[in-house]
Chain A
């Protein structure tokens, strides 16, 4: 037995502990989460799930929990971020705090604006969620009633209003009851040139026969650090169409975990990661098939340029009982500069024998012959590049059923390209 020598905490770790004490918002669950962080520290590359994102090295020190912004600031900041879709009913958060702007919810949807309970967590491989448990200021539970067929898009919008070096943490629970249909857009935005820490956990429970179309548009400010997690559980016959856009942020770690616990589940995940400037964007996904006869597809298109670093870790676990699983994963990347890079790690753990699993990862540059053809018609090099990048990601975005939303997302992609291409 070796004596347990206390580890020396890093500045970032110390300042998280200090921020927790200063905020004074404690309870048993929060205390336990902070104790975990203190004992095990932030994860380094040695923690498998953080192999490409050394959180201990990357997380900045000096954050404190954001106070509630004024009603006026909360309202006016929104004007800088035009909505992605028109006609949605949106629940608003600012710097981690809930604001009721009185937008009427569609029939069949209810919101309880209280922080939902945090899920039980493990060691520092759960650092993202531990930080959320310790710091979450506000949150809500959105419930979709049994059998409800809701056409109107429901929005969960979070904005950081610009107070430097603050932590904004929120937690959402979404319960889609049996046989319901709903469309939800989650959006995180923040101002440019302000350093902040954004923490977000979403627990999405899709009951038997329910269909959810869920879009996450993650548009953090260029200096932001974001630690996000989405947990999804899918019951019998449940269907999820999930789309994720990542555009912006200095450090973005977005975890997406899926537990397929019912049979005949249809899980479609797609996403676009645009990684420019100094961004480090890590999408780490884990799909667990527990039951027979389920399908999952996961497709990411990534564009890296500047000094951007991108990561996609895609784990598919097929449990022994999960016969006849059909799981497909693809990760295609355009690398556009010498100083950018992208790491893709597909991982299959299969314990059932009658399954179909496929994964593929490609890395390419823009095709020279396409560039020549476009430029030979007078299109400038920059515009030719943009057209080809757009074509590369549009294939995914165009698949979205909501054309208005697709257009909104394409607008975000255009804005990113104007800045980075």
Chain B
């Protein structure tokens, strides 16, 4: 589903290279975990996958379902099924959450040639999804993420994900800021979306999340490269020993 080859990315503004020859492939149906030290380039990779403008790809390729992902703009990638659950979801004053959700759902339906949702149908879906994630429906009457607590923001990201039904889900530290119960609820939400036609990339610092969302593969990102890949036992190993040995071995 996703094939990243020899990817080099630098920050457009100052030219600093952050991703330095990264290779990664994720198959349909797979849950891949990416772990790695702070500042290693995990969020950068997720931004590059979703098409954020501040980065420049200088080398390499990203192929998504046979398509050159780098040719699409942000909205087109989303319409093609790429979804990023942000590490830091932004607050957008003045844009009502419900208006935003409806606009997003209909934009993607339109792209797929489906009819727009009627208002009652839309509200029904949001209510159901919010219920599953234990999100108070009244919270959704506020502007997008405005005044949401850290954990509420993360839950709202997963709410959007379940409403938009993407094909490639990228979760950037969705577990940070969640309490123990919320972690379970959010993980259930993600597991619910597991599907042979859907791939999930889980970026996390903690093995704990991977107890709930059990990954098919685990990759260590360090200094802009995947330095080691393995199965779920790699995450357990990292939890015990830290990154030092692996990074030293790769260098």
Contacts and interface: CB of A to CB of B under 8 A. Distances in A.
Interface of A: 368-370, 372-381, 383-384, 387-388, 390-392, 394-395
B19 interface: no
B246 interface: no
Interface stretch (B85-93, B119-127, B132-140, B211-219): B85-93
Name the residue in B75, B92, B104 with the highest tally of chain A Cβ atoms < 10 Å from its Cβ: B75
Contact of A378 (B53, B86, B107, B143): B107
Chain B: number of interface residues, binned into ranges: 20 to 34
Interface stretch (B95-103, B197-205, B224-232, B233-241): B95-103
Nearest to A388: B95
B103 A387 contact: yes
Interface in B105-129: 107-108, 111
A94 to B, nearest CB: 38
B208 interface: no
Contacts of B89: 373
Interface string B16-56: 00000000000000000000000000000000001111000
B69 interface: no
Contact of A395 (B78, B90, B94, B144): B94
A158 B84 CA distance: 51
8 contacts: A373-B89, A376-B74, A377-B78, A377-B100, A380-B107, A381-B75, A383-B103, A391-B94
B90 A378 contact: no
Contacts, number: 75
A370 B86 CA distance: 12
Given A383-B103, A387-B100, A387-B103, A376 B78 contact: yes
Interface of B: 50-53, 73-75, 77-79, 83-84, 86, 89-90, 92-95, 99-100, 103-104, 107-108, 111, 143-144, 160, 164
Closest 8 CB pairs of A and B: A391-B94, A378-B78, A375-B74, A377-B104, A378-B108, A375-B75, A378-B107, A391-B95
Contacts of A373: 86, 89-90, 92, 144
A380 B75 contact: yes
Contacts of B51: 375-376
| Interface secondary structure of A, over-half rule | helix
A378 B74 CA distance: 7
A378 to B, nearest CB: 4
Contacts of A374: 92, 95, 100, 104
Contacts of A372: 52-53, 74
A395 B146 CA distance: 14
B107 A387 contact: no
Contacts of B100: 374, 377, 379, 387
Most B CB atoms within 10 A — which of A373, A378, A380, A384?
Answer: A378
Contacts of B86: 373, 376
B158 to A, nearest CB: 13
Given A376-B50, A377-B78, A369 B108 contact: no
Contacts of B92: 370, 373-374, 388, 391
B79 to A, nearest CB: 5
A372 B48 CA distance: 12
Given A377-B100, A391-B95, 19 more contacts: A368-B53, A372-B52, A372-B53, A372-B74, A373-B90, A373-B92, A374-B95, A374-B100, A375-B73, A375-B74, A376-B50, A376-B77, A377-B104, A379-B100, A381-B73, A383-B103, A387-B100, A391-B143, A395-B93
Contacts of A384: 75
Given A368-B53, A387-B99, A377 B90 contact: no
Nearest to B95: A391
Contacts of A381: 73, 75
B201 to A, nearest CB: 15
Contacts of A387: 95, 99-100, 103
Nearest to A391: B94
A387 to B, nearest CB: 5
B13 to A, nearest CB: 12
Nearest to B92: A370
B93 A379 contact: no
A380 to B, nearest CB: 5
B31 to A, nearest CB: 21
A395 B92 CA distance: 13
Contacts of B84: 376
